[in-house]
Amino acid sequence: MPLPLRTAHTADLDPAELRAVRSLLDEAFDGDFGDEDWDHSLGGMHALVRDGAGPAAHGSVVMRRIRHRGRWLRTGYVEAVAVRADVRRTGLGGQVMAALEGIVDRAYDLGALSASADGAPLYTARGWQQWSGRVCALSPDGIVHLPEEEGGVHLRPARTGRPLDPDHELVFDWRDGDIA
């Protein structure tokens, strides 16, 4: 039987629960998960699976804006997907992603995420599409090209609406830390 999964807004997770999720992320990313990454994962909806040892799997979706062909698309941006090392490849990552995809499909024009090398096989197996076009961002000084983000960006287009065209760039909204 799959472990129960809970979805909750950041505002509905108590401080102890948030601390436990942060510890899961610190361990899962092997020390490569910083305060800005944590900040990026807050303020939206979390999907959380717990087992007897505490948080076992987590991911969140937060709202961002991505401009494409003149429209600023309301984008559900997936952050901080991680599964505790001892329970990987048991379907928990997929369970978390299914919950987040449901939120993206119901609430946003577009789903997007930036995949780590570990994460990419999970997302492509679930139908997320690697973006082959240019990635830019609207910085405080204007639009800047982000070639280092290209290749990692994966999208889940809305079932309705104009298809995304890789001949036209994506322009991400700005934030501190990693833009994508």
Binding site for ligand COA (CB under 6 A): 28-29, 81-83, 88-94, 115-116, 118-119, 121-122, 125
Which of residues 33 and 108 has its CB atom nearest to ligand COA in the complex?
33
Q: Minimum distance between the CB of residue 26 and ligand COA, rounded to whole angstroms? A: 11
Beta strands in the chain (DSSP E): 5-9, 45-51, 54-68, 71-83, 110-114, 129-130, 135-139, 142-145, 153-157, 170-172
CB of 53 to ligand COA, least distance (A): 15
Least separation in angstroms between CB 172 and ligand COA: 16
Q: Which is nearer to ligand COA, 59 or 169 (CB)?
A: 59
Residue of 74, 91, 39, 31 lying closest to 60 (CA atoms) = 39
C-beta closer to ligand COA: residue 114 or 164: 114
Residue 134 region, left (φ>0) first, then alpha (ψ -120 to 50), else beta? beta
